[in-house]
Amino acid sequence: MRQASGDASLLRRLNSAAILRILRGREVATLTELASAAGVSRPTAEGVVEDLLADGWVEEYAEDEHADRQRGRPARRFRFRASSAHVAGVYIDSANLQAMVCDLGGEVRAVRRQPLPADTPAPERLAALAELVRLVAADAEVAVADLAVVGVGTTGVVDGEGRVVKSIMLPGWTGLHLHAELSARIPVPVVVENDMRLAVMAEHWRGAACGCDDVVYLLTGDRIGMGLLIGGRAHRGAHAAAGEIGSQPNDNWSAFRYVADYAMAVEPGELRGSRQSAEFAISRARSGDEKARLAVRRFGRALAAGLITVVNPLDPEMVVIGGSLSAAGDLLVDPIQELLDEYCLYPPKVVASGLGGECITLGAVRLALDHAERLLFTMPD
């Protein structure tokens, strides 16, 4: 909420913040309903709403004119104006930058993606990110300085201050104080978080895990990663490293060997990475190759074997398979579900993410929206 003028009373500002929060959580409300919910008189609610209308935070809800004639003059109704402010979400991957601008209702206004070589030095990557935010804001017809918050997701262990404690994916990223560096380049509040936590936040907000408060998100693609949602909150852990897979004893995460062996047997002269091997096997499995289907099945069951060590102690409602290999759908989901059904006391439902390549960027938007709500609708102590 915009700061009131110096002569406005604290009570008036408190009432404004309270009524904005109420409208934020409802589709529409009358003055009487707002007054009751905020615990103020109707004249007080009316005065606050008039100010909010003038400031652009609230708009009057226009009902159907024919319905109005049928029942006489209705009570005025108001709703929160989602376009009153905007946030941006940014994802920093090893080969790309992606940025998205949304209004406070979460409606996407603009998206931009920029490829970057994996060996791009940190200063150049940071400069490219700041420029991408400027461009995507311009696409949404918003000045960067008018954004409420910019949320940023990155690979690596990210501490509570927005510092990248460790990263093996990006050069010059380990030890980088990402929050401070971006705050010096972007003239609005910046919040930084690990990409896997943002992915599970996005699934909880807009994806397969809507309505589920205990979720495991498994990233599959060029790497294996994990995000954990516990009690409706993304879990960070004591050292902000929750979900980091690292190396595993007994090769629990070397599931790719099944698809790699298959790809090498079919085309021994073609060198493929882990993701490319999996995509090759999945494509051939879809076309009816039984050996490819068996390789993908073994790949899925090997992933599930690693998941069991997380699923049994955490007891989640759902496991979401994300990343580029989630496009395999039931070819990958079914063998994972089968093994969890066999070995878990309470097997969670296994689903493939439908958010595609925008998942982590959407999570960065959700992070920005959460921070914006605290900034805009909460009175300072």
CATH number at residue 16: 1.10.10.10
**pLDDT > 90: percent of the chain:** 66
Domain that holds residue 349: 210-354
pLDDT over 50 (residue 66):
no
Pick from 175-179, 206-210, 271-275, 292-296: least confident: 271-275
Domain co-membership, 215 together with 278? yes
Q: Is residue 205 part of a domain?
A: no
Give the model's pLDDT for residue 55: 85
Q: Which of 55, 83, 111 is the last residue of a domain?
A: 83
Cβ atoms of 195 and 224 closer than 8 Å? no
Closest CA to 75 of 40, 114, 125, 29: 29
* Band (249; pLDDT cuts 50, 70, 90): very low
Domain co-membership, 339 together with 252? yes
Q: Which of 68, 83, 98 is the last residue of a domain?
A: 83
Chain-wide mean pLDDT for the chain?
A: 90
CB-based contacts of 232: which residues, under 8 Å, 6+ apart?
A: 204, 213
Give the model's pLDDT for residue 9: 66
Query: How much is the average pLDDT of 224-246?
Result: 85
Domain co-membership, 349 together with 297? yes
CATH number at residue 299: 3.30.420.40
Q: Is residue 370 part of a domain?
A: yes
Q: Is residue 285 part of a domain?
A: yes
Domain co-membership, 72 together with 89? no
Number of domains making up the chain: 3
Domain co-membership, 214 together with 328? yes
Q: 276-304 pLDDT, tens per residue?
A: 999 999 999 999 999 999 999 999 999 99
Give the model's pLDDT for residue 239: 80
Domain co-membership, 347 together with 216? yes
Q: Is residue 93 part of a domain?
A: yes
pLDDT over 90 (residue 5):
no
Domain co-membership, 191 together with 164? yes
Alpha-carbon gap, residue 4 to 220, rounded angstroms: 48
Q: Which of 42, 64, 83 is the last residue of a domain?
A: 83
CB-based contacts of 61: which residues, under 8 Å, 6+ apart?
A: 28, 77, 78, 79
Alpha-carbon gap, residue 216 to 228, rounded angstroms: 5
Give the model's pLDDT for residue 271: 87
Query: How much is the average pLDDT of 216-221?
Result: 94
CB-based contacts of 212: which residues, under 8 Å, 6+ apart?
A: 204, 229, 316, 317, 318
Domain co-membership, 42 together with 65? yes
Q: Is residue 46 part of a domain?
A: yes
Domain co-membership, 179 together with 72? no
Domain co-membership, 48 together with 89? no
